[in-house]
Amino acid sequence: MEAAEGQRGRDGGSQRRSPFDIIMSQIRRKRSASDRKPLGRFLSRTSERTAIPEDAESENRGQSPEAAAPVDSQRDAGWGRVCVFLQKLGKKADSSSLSLAHCDLTATDLLELASLLQFLPQLEEMDVSWNELIGGSLTALTSHLQHVGGIRTLKLCSCRLNADDVGALGEALPSVPVLEILDLSWNSSVGGALQSLLGKLQPSVRELHLVACQLTAADAAALGGLVAVLPKLCVLDVSCNPRLTQEVDADGFGQLVASLSRAVSLTVLRLQACGLKPDDLEALGVSLRCLASLRQLDLSCNRSVAGGLSRLASHLPHMAHLESLDLHLCRLKRSDLEALIQVLPSLTALTALDVSSNKEAGGAVHQLVSALPLTQMRRLPMSSCRLTEESFTALALVAPYLRSLDVSWCKVVGGRLPLLMDALQPSVVLELRLSSCGLTTDDLRHLADVCRRGCVSSLRVLDLSYNGSVGDAGWAALFAAGGLGSLEEADLSLRPLTSAPCSAWLPALLGALPRMPALVQLAMQRWSAAPQEERQLRFSVKNRNIRLDWDLDGSDWKTSSQEESQTEE
């Protein structure tokens, strides 16, 4: 559907529409009448805007204090208009940062925002992401960017930008010469139009995010020509663009990869779900061995690399500063893991390795742990890896050093959780994810003892979802134990199509809430309670501004039962 929308946007660019037509068409696309923002909010101030100088500061220069006073008054009035505009959107005014993501902005709002930029000369960050109704009318904003020439961050994710929008943004980029971060992710029509923008990027750019933009081989070739001339580029994210490698008649991705060897400042490269193949890994490795500065490499969700990881692994030892390598959901084979294990001792800076959702990894944990620099490892997620008893025991060797411990969807954990919990160092682990592990009541009792001893006092995320085999006594013991003062997110949800009463342990949870001052999100999907108990819990979390995910009819499922069964298989 997004591709169709993008095509309509490109086709519509050949017919000129008046600003009024654009405004009215965008207003008609509003989801409901109650969400509509009045057109008069913009039109009523038209005469007021035209009376305000575009550069009040320059007009003020050289004038007497008496003559400058009206200009100062106008500036104050302009800031007041900014505050009123943001207040209507539920936002607070900040002269240096403008965050309007998820505000359901229309073309009318965009015009009003553009008229207010002249009163924000100190603006450094602007985020108007996830406002799909502004697609096709970005010119209204870009034509005023010269008023915020000091902007350093510009985010336009998921705005349904079309080719005309991309072109208008490209024309405006020279007016923001210190721009460092540009994010156009999740705009499917950027693909094919990116070339009109890339040539206008300034040397100051440090981060370029183009996730899920339907980039083509031609875009990749143009991007390759650009990265070599952006001396400060340190983050490049082109994830979720499978067309980069699928167009067999053009080798745009090859040109992009070849140019990476000259991106000497690159520290983060993300190529998740780009349809990479073993040949691509070989070319990528040749370039990356020249990038001594690279610290994070994300090649996850590229299932076609299965059986060909050795073509990249031979180049990894040259990446002396690599700290994070993400290979989750790549269908890695035993030969891939063996090739990786051979080079791991050379990656002396590595702190995070993700081979989760690769079932063969479950049988190679002992070799992985033996090859890793254990004392500096912070993340080694092993969810959905078919852990065995032996591999689970080996994982306990690295557990004391991990900041994040994830063994979700591994049934071997049930009944053996004490082995992992007893290995934890006090106040080290920040995330503990044990979703769908077949935990028992005794497992949660042991976790309660660990909490009581203060061993997880720094824990921020606790995921115990889909463990319906835990009895009421286990849940009650966990919340009565205390020791979770830093916890921010907790998930206790049951599986889809199941339900169980929580009346037996709900009082313990209610009593624990005051001892969890950092908690901001609590998920309890499909647990049932008496009306009075439900009201009591909702009242408690409302007073604390805690987001409660509690949907008894199962309509807000974390995943479908079909997806769950596929994951377990």
Per-residue pLDDT of 445-485, as tens digits, reads 999 999 999 999 999 999 999 999 999 999 999 999 999 99
CB atoms within 10 A of CB 314: 15
Mean pLDDT of the region 54-63: 44
Helix axes 107-116, 65-88, angle to 10 degrees: 150
Which DSSP state fits 437? S
Distance of alpha carbon 168 from alpha carbon 139, whole angstroms = 6
**Vertex 441, ends 437 and 444: CA angle to 5°?**
70
pLDDT confidence tier of residue 359, bands split at 50, 70 and 90: very high
Question: What are the strands, taking DSSP E only, across 156-272?
Answer: 181-183, 207-209, 235-237, 268-270
Please spell the DSSP secondary structure of 294-354, one letter per residue.
--EEE-TT-GGGTT-THHHHTTGGG-TT--EEE-TTS---HHHHHHHHHHGGG-TT--EEE
127 close to 153: Cβ distance less than 8 angstroms: yes
- Judge whether residue 436 has pLDDT over 90: yes
- Give buried/exposed letters for 531-567 (b at 16+ CB in 10 A, else e): eebbeebeebbeeeebeeebeeeeeebbeeeeebeee
pLDDT confidence tier of residue 133, bands split at 50, 70 and 90: very high
What are the residues facing 234 on neighbouring strands?
Answer: none
Region for 528 from its dihedrals, namely left if φ exceeds 0, alpha if ψ lies in -120 to 50, beta otherwise:
beta
> So what's the pLDDT on residue 427?
80
Q: Pairing mode, if any, of strands 404-406 and 235-237?
A: unpaired
Mean pLDDT of the region 399-422: 95
Give me the residue spans of the domains in the chain: 389-553
337 close to 308: Cβ distance less than 8 angstroms: no
Distance of alpha carbon 407 from alpha carbon 436, whole angstroms = 9
- Judge whether residue 90 has pLDDT over 60: yes
Distance of alpha carbon 227 from alpha carbon 264, whole angstroms = 9
**Vertex 431, ends 425 and 434: CA angle to 5°?**
100
CB within 8 A of 442, min separation 6: which ones?
Answer: 415, 474
Residue whose C-alpha is closest to residue 188's, from 435, 2, 426, 44 = 2
Tokens of 460: 């921020």
Q: What is the pLDDT of residues 32-53, one digit of tens each?
A: 333 433 333 333 333 333 333 3
> So what's the pLDDT on residue 252?
85
Mean pLDDT of the region 253-258: 91
Distance of alpha carbon 23 from alpha carbon 114, whole angstroms = 14
Distance of alpha carbon 474 from alpha carbon 295, whole angstroms = 42
Mean pLDDT of the region 439-445: 97
Chain mean position to CA 544:
26
Tokens 């061993």, located at residue:
455
> So what's the pLDDT on residue 8?
40
Stretch (H or E) spanning 432: strand 431-433
Distance of alpha carbon 527 from alpha carbon 550, whole angstroms = 8
> So what's the pLDDT on residue 246?
80
For 523, the 3-state DSSP assignment is strand
Please spell the DSSP secondary structure of 356-398, one letter per residue.
TT-GGGGGSHHHHHHHS-GGG--B---TTS---HHHHHHHTTT
For 38, the 3-state DSSP assignment is coil
Amino acid identity for residue 124 in this structure:
E
Mean pLDDT of the region 380-393: 95
100 close to 127: Cβ distance less than 8 angstroms: yes
CB within 8 A of 342, min separation 6: which ones?
Answer: 313, 371
Tokens of 280: 């691509």
Q: What is the pLDDT of residues 214-255, one digit of tens each?
A: 999 999 999 999 988 899 999 999 999 999 888 665 678 899
> So what's the pLDDT on residue 460?
97
CB within 8 A of 403, min separation 6: which ones?
Answer: 378, 379, 428, 429, 430, 431
CB within 8 A of 477, min separation 6: which ones?
Answer: 444, 445, 448
Amino acid identity for residue 11 in this structure:
D
Looking at domain 389-553, its CATH superfamily turns out to be Ribonuclease Inhibitor (3.80.10.10)
Alpha carbons within 13 A on the beta-carbon side of 9: 30
318 close to 289: Cβ distance less than 8 angstroms: yes
Distance of alpha carbon 311 from alpha carbon 79, whole angstroms = 58
Residue whose C-alpha is closest to residue 279's, from 301, 251, 259, 300 = 251
